[in-house]
Amino acid sequence: MTETVYRIEGATGPWEVVIGLEVHAQVTSNAKLFSGAATAFGAEPNTQVSLVDAAMPGMLPVPNRECIRQAVRTGMAIGAQINRWSQFDRKNYFYADLPQGYQISQLYHPLVGEGAIEIEPAEGETKTIGIERIHVEQDAGKLMHDQHPTRSYVDLNRSGVALMEIVSKPDMRSPAEAGAYLRKLRAILRYVGSCDGNMEQGSMRADVNVSVRKPGGELGTRTETKNVNSVRFVMATVEGEARRQIDVLEAGGKIVQETRLYDPDRNETRSMRSKEDAHDYRYFPDPDLLPLVLEDDFLAECAGSLPELPDAKRQRYEDALGISAYSASVITADVETARWFEALLAATGKPETEVAKPAANWLTSELFGALNRLGKDIADSPVSPTQGAELIALVADGTLSGTLSKQVFEIMLETGEDAGKIVEERGLKQTSDTGAIEAEIARVMDANADKVAEYRGGKDKLFGFFVGQTMKAMAGKANPAVVNELLKKALDG
């Protein structure tokens, strides 16, 4: 399928948008990048701060092996170059939440080099987005302006927390592509386990670089909108900032390279500060830290620990299990859903190839529909994989019809009870008793003799009417296949 070309129409004609994202992802680890202080979210201010984090004199940083491991595993998951030799640099700037007066980062020799991520901005479209680098750095603290009428407080709990900065190439050309890239990157990080991807808690945030140009023209001047914390806001930032730049240019103005902030209440970006160039930070190798040298055994362990990743899992679901492309895409989009689905398959006790299709259909339609209605994630599902497997089995063996299974599922959602118990206690079992069904068919035909005559006179479409009346008379408990067979016999007899 040819990819959709995104353009913004201005007074002087169409404009092309050029987008790059710098994603800061908090590394999953129990301790900080250079100290043993804890990293748990939501702790009381300044209760997770070591002497290293507070920049006390004489304190020396020691790299956390697990943080390096997680960054390497992330690089491997996107097929990136892993640099066996890398180095930490000091990025010097002064701010109240940065106790050292510098941030330890990696500029010249990052841990991870070039890689790529394949995205699907629209159904049937694929595009490869280049990754320029992943470097490891420490986070700053947090300023709290709402605790006192005249003072700002500093919380250093985040100071020194390990971040991966994942820098894309400027390969995205629409809000949809930027959104698809961020969703895919988040999915990969969550599969790998290197970041929980919780954007609301700040463990993943994006700096959005946007410029505009006439299609195919020279690259324009870019702006950087900092710390955008949701996929929706990233897409809104791209569109709003691109339109702002086009308005400025078409009015004869110039775009200033600057740092901006996104205001979700007004759905607009506003200027924060003019953009400092890299040399303003006076980067130099950190004298307290030796270069990182990765050995073969370490790299082999990192590679061996990687799980099946979303693209490979989706392909396997389609090829080996016969699941539709749509269902496979939905199920593998998030690691929690994929794990739930695989637990569902395992709980059936049957070969995956036999149960995968009905299980996938039930999950993506019935369960997802119910969770959306209840405002819950799959991790909070009121129905467990084991309970779901029992419900699917009752449909497969003819105990429940499709209609009855929906009734049972609703009761399961309300009560938390197992499907088998509900069926037994409430008498919801589907009947294939031919005698009982034939008796109801006879009653339906007696009550609708005129329609029987019309049917036998050639009005075949009335067959559906008789099916509906029979099912209604049996409160939806009759086996539809048996009803169809016996009705055909009675009406045509």
CB 101 within 8 A of CB 290: no
Per-residue pLDDT tens over the stretch 364-419: 999 999 999 999 999 999 999 999 999 999 988 888 877 888 989 999 999 999 99
Burial class (CB in 10 A: 0-12, 13-18, 19+), 199: buried
pLDDT above 70: residue 277:
no
- The answer to whether 216 and 16 are in contact (CB under 8 A) is yes
Q: Reduced to 3 states, what is the DSSP secondary structure of residue 296?
A: helix
How far is CA 471 from each of CA 201, 428, 439, rounded to the nearest angstrom? 51, 14, 12
Tokens representing 248?
């400025």
Look at the pTM and tell me if it is higher than 0.95: no
Residue 311 clears pLDDT 80, i.e. is over it: yes
Instruction: Give me the residue label for tokens 């901005």.
Output: 121
Q: What share of the chain is helix, strand, coil (3-state, %, to 5)?
A: 40, 20, 40
Instruction: Give the DSSP letter string of 407-461.
Output: HHHHHHHHH---HHHHHHHHT---B--HHHHHHHHHHHHHHTHHHHHHHHTT-GG
Nearest CA to 176 out of 122, 222, 110 is that of 122
Residue 278 has pLDDT above 50, yes or no: no
Mean pLDDT of the chain: 91
**476 or 303, which is more confident?**
303
Average pLDDT over residues 338-349: 96
Total residue count of the chain as it appears in this document: 493
Confidence at residue 197, expressed as pLDDT on a 0 to 100 scale: 94
Alpha-carbon distance 105 to 110, whole Å? 9
pLDDT(1) > 50: no
pLDDT digits over 455-493, tens only? 887 787 888 888 888 778 777 777 777 778 778 888 876
Q: Please give the share of the chain, as a percent, with pLDDT higher than 70.
A: 96
Q: What are phi and psi of 369, to 5 degrees?
A: -60, -45
